[in-house]
Amino acid sequence: MAASPSSMAEDQKLPEPSDPPSRFDPSRMVGVIKRKALIKDLAAVYHAECLSYCQELLELQSKWDEPFIDLKPIEDSKKETVRPSKRIKKLR
């Protein structure tokens, strides 16, 4: 069975949106501006908090490294220096 031309035209129609696009309402801009300001404030607080955590981490790292510098035995530092050999190898 072939579909009638009138039923095919009905199937191809796009569904109409239930909410037609509204016109620009300037009163809504106030809410947008307020939200933007709140986001900026939140970003500033977040940034300040990150900086404080970084500062704290830096202090903890420097405290962690301090004891190892002072406790290094003198014998170990002597082992690190390499002396040249007393005998010179002959070149062939």
User: What pTM did the predictor assign?
Assistant: 0.41
20-79 tens-digit pLDDT: 667 777 788 889 999 999 999 999 999 999 999 999 999 998 888 765 555 555 665 556
First to last CA, the chain: 101
Q: What does the alpha-carbon distance between residue 62 and residue 66 come to, in Å, rounded to a whole number?
A: 6
**What per-residue confidence (pLDDT) applies to 5?**
56
Separation between Cα atoms, residue 52 and residue 46, nearest integer Å:
10
7-18 burial, b at 16+ Cβ within 10 Å, e below that, comes to: eeeeeeeeeeee
Q: What is the pLDDT of residue 25?
A: 79
